[in-house]
Amino acid sequence: MTTIANSNIQDLLDFIDASPSPWHVVTTSSERLTKAGFKALNESEAWQLETGGRYFVTRGGSSIIAFTIGQNSLPISGFNMVGAHTDSPGLRLKPHAAFSSDGLIRIGVEVYGGPILATFADRDLSMAGRVNVRIANGFETRLIKFDKPLLRLPNLAIHMNREVNDKGLKFNKQTELPLLFGESANGIEADAQFLGHIAKSIKVEVKDIINFELNVFDTQKGIIWGANQEFIADSQLDNLASCHAALSALLANKKPNNTAICALFDHEEVGSESSTGASGSFLADIVERISLHLNKEEKLRALANSFFISADMAHAFHPNHAGSYEPCHNVHINKGPVIKTNANQRYATNAESAARFIRLCEHAGVPYQEYAHRTDLGCGSTIGPIVASRLGVASVDVGSPMWAMHSLRESTGVLDHAYMIKVLTTYYS
């Protein structure tokens, strides 16, 4: 397993480092799928699907669904589905982001999801996302990614914040999060200077820029760390590690028996309520189009025989904070995929779906763990309950264990990522 793990990890790090925004995730995934022989489809065009065919379709530039048409009868075998999400908690630039203050250009940001804001301080930050530019007949979208550090959130010196080590680092989201971008150039407004930097990067005139959606990201590359190089550190492990595992498993399945779907959604971190989120119609629309040759009863049979694996990350036990975990439910790095349960359906797992995943792990020769959150702490959620309720399919929530979830710099295990790929590959085969 160690050799397999090592071969997967650098590919994971490359995947994440190439994908600092949901739009980049979709582009990176599309490139991998195309290279593997998958055919790109457009939702606005007619489809001609064939048995054994391999396809993918994107929506809104930030969500992607790839699928293969299996040999087995769809009403009997159903859909083998895995879902993950392309977005991560962090900071996003406001529409009119740049302003001057005391000779410095500052960049206004909004908090996206629930990041650990303190982890953004004193990091080498930059910007990535998409820019819409004018063309003769309308507009076109350009992806943009600045590899060099452009932004910073300097800490206030301890001499002016004497209680920082006792009470923790806290930021007022409106007044203390604007990022430093550069010095104000004489006679040039902050907005013009900022947009000029973007325009130069994508080789257009400032006047041609209509608008943008930009993420703040950490320019430090992902690494393998630990005494025996057994851990991984990178940004966006939640949830690009799951995206990479699901995509790798689908790509490994050259001739599937069952129809297999890999769905990577945007906006999970903010509730999934969008056309590109799991609460939207994207997955249901794809299932419908794959099933067009079936009658109503056959489609319902196919859904009844389907299974959905919601792949998101899980909370690994942190020995420095043992009291934060539910007794008898501590899960550990490099000990296998985690089955997540919650009585209030924050996770989609039930006894039957958990048993199905356990048997799948046993068949794949992969260890597994089970997790429940402390009853007196709020529990996060996933796309699992959303998809389960929209499609009415049996579902389970699983994920690789990790430390520092929602930090700008997260950690997980080398073996765990290999385990997740192996069990999902077995599931798809």
Instruction: Encode pLDDT of 235-269 as tens digits.
Output: 999 999 999 999 999 999 888 899 999 999 999 99
- The per-residue pLDDT string of the chain (429 residues; one tens digit each, 9 = 90 and over) reads 555 566 789 999 999 999 999 999 999 999 999 999 999 999 999 999 999 999 999 999 999 999 999 999 999 999 999 999 999 999 999 999 999 988 999 999 999 999 999 999 999 999 999 999 999 999 999 999 999 999 999 999 999 999 999 999 999 999 999 999 999 877 778 999 999 999 999 999 999 999 999 999 999 999 999 999 999 999 999 999 999 999 999 999 888 899 999 999 999 999 999 999 999 999 999 999 999 999 999 999 999 999 999 999 999 999 999 999 999 999 999 999 999 999 999 999 999 999 999 999 999 999 999 999 999 988 889 999 999 999 999 999 999 999 999 999 999 999 999 999 999 999 999
The pLDDT of residue 6 is 66
Nearest CA-CA partner of 158 in 145, 167, 149: 167
The pLDDT of residue 170 is 95
Contact between 344 and 378 under an 8 Å Cβ cutoff? The reply is no
Contact between 366 and 296 under an 8 Å Cβ cutoff? The reply is no
Whole-angstrom CA distances from 88 to 111, 254, 260, 383 are: 11, 30, 25, 14
Residue type, 149: P
Instruction: Encode pLDDT of 176-202 as tens digits.
Output: 999 999 998 777 789 999 999 999 999
Query: How many C-alpha atoms does 117 have within 13 Å on its Cβ side?
Result: 22
Domain ranges of the chain: 2-88+235-428, 90-218
Residue 23, phi then psi, degrees to nearest 5: -70, -35
Nearest CA-CA partner of 30 in 157, 179, 143: 143
| CATH level 2 (architecture), domain 2-88+235-428 | 3-Layer(aba) Sandwich (3.40)
Instruction: Encode pLDDT of 265-316 as tens digits.
Output: 999 999 999 999 999 999 999 999 999 999 999 999 999 999 999 999 999 9
pTM of the full predicted structure?
A: 0.96
Residue 14, phi then psi, degrees to nearest 5: -65, -40
The pLDDT of residue 413 is 98
Q: Do domains 2-88+235-428 and 90-218 have the same CATH topology?
A: no
Tokens linked to 265? 């959604």
The pLDDT of residue 66 is 98
The pLDDT of residue 357 is 98
Q: How distant is the alpha carbon of residue 129 from its chain centre?
A: 14
Q: What share of the chain is helix, strand, coil (3-state, %, to 5)?
A: 35, 30, 40
Question: What is the rounded distance in angstroms from the CA atom of residue 398 to the CA atom of residue 337?
Answer: 7
Question: What is the rounded distance in angstroms from the CA atom of residue 113 to the CA atom of residue 80?
Answer: 29
Class of domain 90-218: mainly beta
